[in-house]
Amino acid sequence: MKALRALVVLLIALQVVSCGGSGNGPVRMALVANSHTHLAVPLAEKLGFYQQEGVDVVIESLPSTQKTTEALLAGSAEMATGGYDHLLQLVASGRALRSVVVNTIRDNRSIFASPLRKDIRSLRDLRSRNVGVPGLGSSNHLFVLHALALHGLRSDDASFAGVGVGATLIHALERGVVDAAVASLFDGVLLQRRNPGIAVLVDASTPDGAKALWQSESAPFAVVFAKTEWIEANRDKVARIARADRQALAWLRTHSAEELLAILPAGYQTADKETDLAGLRAIQPLYSPDGRMPRAGAEALLAALARTQDSFRNAKIDVAATYTDEFILEKP
């Protein structure tokens, strides 16, 4: 009998470990570092929204969606931030993942040519060129592959290099380390202020640009996600985190750029206050008003990727299984 009890206790303990952080411990959140599209997460921590919800969140900042996903899949994080397009890519490969909060309801990325490469004026000019992305295999890497395919280029027509985001990306572009690179809306504002006339090859941050790339003006981009199994085993924690993120999103949309800049962590600021304010004003309309998934935009994004990427074309993906709004809508 004692042996049976011991076996039951062991099995329960193993189940807790396999679910990755079940129980009363903190939730480890892998965050894309210094990314304004994922700002709701560090803001929820800074403004005390996680504390108000009674949930302990430990944030680890990593350089790209690829790295946050690796942390999630390896078990060193229970939740992660990243691009919804990258989440779909992982689902297409057989991973059971689900978005629980949508941070931005439109893409915010652009592809810029290096100001030293005056001969690059369109995506077709990137043939045999080196393109910078935050990390190889990241959401932004997929973004470039999709954009190139829409303009008749194959994935091996260009080479790719990981250049990070923010200052390292801008340095790589301005010094000609790469011939072109993907930049967020915030980094793009800085690039254009420092390099008037810099060539913008793709701009998905505008309604027209998003529709041209994704066939929808409201294709979701930045999301908070986790393994489906872990979500089901930790529903109360997920609900508390979702409510805290919803409060942060509301704060982001209802406060001025000046108020936001005053509380931004150092890594989200530059040395130029006016550039920071311009970038924040540009990105604020992209934040989700309620954290919910725009279903039509999600379906359009998946359909667009299926037209250019074999991994999506051959996969059987049920969009409804890749996200849930139940936690973001739940009341305490």
Q: Per-residue pLDDT tens for 208-257?
A: 999 999 999 889 999 999 999 999 999 999 999 999 999 999 999 999 99
Instruction: Report pLDDT digits (tens) over 257-269.
Output: 999 999 998 888 8
Residue 156 placed within a domain: yes
Split at pLDDT 50, 70, 90, the class of 14 is very low
What's the pTM value of the predicted model, to 2 decimals?
A: 0.86
Q: Is residue 19's pLDDT more than 70?
A: no
- Computed over every residue of the chain, the mean pLDDT equals 90
Higher-confidence residue of 239 and 64: namely 239
Q: Are residues 325 and 223 in the same domain?
A: yes
| Cβ–Cβ under 8 Å, residues 284 and 257 | yes
Angle at 90 between CA 87 and CA 94, to 5 degrees: 135
Q: What pLDDT shows up at residue 4?
A: 43
Residue 214 placed within a domain: no
Reference 306, options 152, 150, 151; nearest CA is 150
Tell me the mean pLDDT in the region 182-192.
93
Q: Are residues 17 and 41 in the same domain?
A: yes
Q: What pLDDT shows up at residue 165?
A: 83
Q: Are residues 46 and 174 in the same domain?
A: no
Q: Are residues 177 and 246 in the same domain?
A: no
Q: What pLDDT shows up at residue 82?
A: 93
Q: Is residue 307's pLDDT more than 60?
A: yes
| Cβ–Cβ under 8 Å, residues 111 and 141 | no
Q: Rounded distance, CA 178 to CA 6, Å? A: 59
Q: Are residues 189 and 268 in the same domain?
A: no
State which amino acid sits at residue 116.
Answer: L
Tell me the mean pLDDT in the region 66-77.
94
Q: Are residues 97 and 226 in the same domain?
A: yes
Residue 7 placed within a domain: yes
Q: Are residues 98 and 116 in the same domain?
A: no
Residue 213 placed within a domain: no
Retrieve residue 100's tokens.
Answer: 């629980």
Q: Are residues 195 and 252 in the same domain?
A: no
Q: What pLDDT shows up at residue 23?
A: 60
- Residue percentage of the chain with pLDDT more than 90: 79
Examine the fold and report which residue of 149, 168, 203 is the final residue of a domain before the chain moves on: 203
Examine the fold and report which residue of 146, 175, 203 is the final residue of a domain before the chain moves on: 203
Examine the fold and report which residue of 178, 203, 228 is the final residue of a domain before the chain moves on: 203
Total domain count, the chain? 2
Instruction: Report pLDDT digits (tens) over 174-186.
Output: 999 999 999 999 8
Q: Are residues 47 and 185 in the same domain?
A: no
Range of the domain at 127: 110-203
Q: Are residues 273 and 191 in the same domain?
A: no
Q: Rounded distance, CA 170 to CA 183, Å? A: 9
Distance of alpha carbon 184 from its chain centroid, rounded?
11
Q: Are residues 36 and 164 in the same domain?
A: no
Q: Are residues 40 and 66 in the same domain?
A: yes
Split at pLDDT 50, 70, 90, the class of 137 is confident
| Cβ–Cβ under 8 Å, residues 210 and 216 | yes
Residue 256 placed within a domain: yes
Higher-confidence residue of 97 and 14: namely 97
Split at pLDDT 50, 70, 90, the class of 64 is confident
Tell me the mean pLDDT in the region 304-323.
92
Q: Rounded distance, CA 83 to CA 130, Å? A: 23
**CATH code of the domain in which 116 resides:** 3.40.190.10
Residue 209 placed within a domain: no
Q: Rounded distance, CA 265 to CA 275, Å? A: 16
Residue 251 placed within a domain: yes
Q: What pLDDT shows up at residue 311?
A: 87
Residue 212 placed within a domain: no
